[in-house]
Amino acid sequence: MTCEIDTDAPEPEILFQDDYLVVLNKPAGLLVHPSWISPPNTPNLIKWLKQHFPADTFHTIHRLDRATSGVIVFVRNDKQAAQQMHQQFLDRRVSKTYLCVVRGWSDAEGTIDYP
């Protein structure tokens, strides 16, 4: 089974899975979950996960914007564990690194603090 993606992006890649977690490499162009801003049949990671793991319920721990690719974590079947992991993100106890492509020239190193 596959989940059709609106862009030429590849399907999500499973980076890790066990009885409690599924960690995916989300391609750019794919929604994490259904959204009111997209048509009802728009492909998303939750739909993809349900196709690949039909017996499981998935809880989103954090999200990535549709245009963003990267690693995303889902908890399988355990709402309490999902709430605890989500709280770790809210409390900023999880370290995240972002890489981006920019147009123009910048210093070789540094921080760009601009939306």
Element (H, E) at 59: strand 58-60
Q: What are phi and psi of 5, to 5 degrees?
A: -115, 140
Catalytic residue among 19, 65, 78, 107: 65
Distances (CA, A) of 61 to 1, 95, 106: 24, 14, 33
Task: Lay out the sheet containing 21-26: strands in order across.
Answer: 13-17, 21-26, 70-76, 58-60
Is residue 48 exposed (0-12), middle (13-18) or buried (19+ Cβ within 10 Å)? Answer: buried
The answer to whether 78 is a known catalytic residue is: no
Please give the positions annotated as active site: 65
